[in-house]
Amino acid sequence: MRKRILTVGRADMNMILNTSAIPAANGVVEGLNYSYAPGGGGSVAAVSFAKLSADSVFCARVGDDENGIRLIKYYNDCGVDTRYITRDSEVDTGFSALINEAGISTRTINYPGANKKFGREDLENGFMSYPDALFLQFELPDRECVAATRLAKRQEIPVFIDAGPRKFELPLELLENVEIFSPNEEEAYHYTGVYPSDPEKCLKVCMALCTKINAKYIVLKLGRRGSFIYDGKYYHVVPAYDITFVDGSAAGDVFSAALTTEYLRHGDIKAACEFANLAGAIAVSREGSYNAVPTRKDVEKYAEHIGIKLS
């Protein structure tokens, strides 16, 4: 049976500018190319859930403008339930300009727009979808992050947290009903002061996190080293799969969505991490973010190709 997963987060329109150099003050350079694409980690996760055969519901806020219309159409085309996205006629849709200087750096200019007005009313509207689980990232204000987990507890549904972007003031102990808390390496270091560079330090990170947040599982995303699971007593290392790296833009969001989807199917955390590692491997072998998101069939075919038997 397909699980209904409610994602709450940002919805942005991104303008991606690719250039060989950044102009100096008052200067002009000739860019390479530009494109538009949906943005916001929440929206990548919502699309990933739909492609991985979950019943995906996205709760966000956009402007009642052309960008908002385009985003909603895109989500609908991907199979995401957009009935709980608020269209605000008083502000513009969130917008980000990403300036990619070839082989050097990426600079981002973000205009929060409608995202800045996301509040309790939006959350309560999203929970009217009667989800089986809540998926949360830290893109929302601290107050809304905490409120979302309390609403999940009230409905007796588990909370899955992709712990980025890093929050400097959010008291993790206030987050409720957390099933899986999953930071990447930099986020883990931010929350604990320990960098998870080897299994011993990964364990130290997890033990430190357990003093800050009440979660059934801590799952560290370790990139090419795979993932690390801790349940409060025991740990397990799930190695990554060797694949040609192209672009890691969507890897973390895809991993977290795949982990959540698969765990809700059978409750086996190790098997869920193995599935998520497969999905993440496919994502880094593709260019872009949304174009990199695999379907469940993609993951199954890749597993079969490398001789992995899925649960």
Q: What domains lie within the chain, and their CATH numbers?
A: 4-11+41-93+115-305 (3.40.1190.20)
pLDDT in tens, 90-104: 999 999 998 888 767
Q: Please, which residues have CB within 8 angstroms of residue 21's CB and are 6 or more apart in sequence?
A: 29, 101
> What does each C-alpha distance from 185 to 169, 220, 223 come to in angstroms?
19, 7, 8
Res 27: pLDDT: 87
Q: H/E element holding 298?
A: helix 296-305
pLDDT in tens, 231-264: 999 999 999 888 888 887 788 899 999 999 999 9
Res 22: pLDDT: 86
Residue 304's φ and ψ, nearest 5 degrees, are -65, -40
Mean pLDDT for the chain? 92
Residue appearing with tokens 């560290």: 220
pLDDT in tens, 288-298: 778 889 999 99
- pLDDT higher at 197 or 98: 197
In angstroms, the CA 56 to CA 5 distance is: 5
Angle, helix 251-266 to helix 41-51, in steps of 10 degrees: 50
3-class state of residue 169 by DSSP? coil
Res 168: pLDDT: 78
- pTM to 2 decimals? 0.93
SS3 of 76-136? HHCCCECCCEEEECCCCCEEEEEEEECCCEEEEEEECHHHHHCCHHHHHHHHHHCCCEEEE
Residue appearing with tokens 């880094």: 284
Q: H/E element holding 272?
A: helix 269-284
Residues making up the chain, counted from first to last: 311
Which residues, listed in sequence order, are joined to residue 159 by a DSSP beta bridge?
134, 178
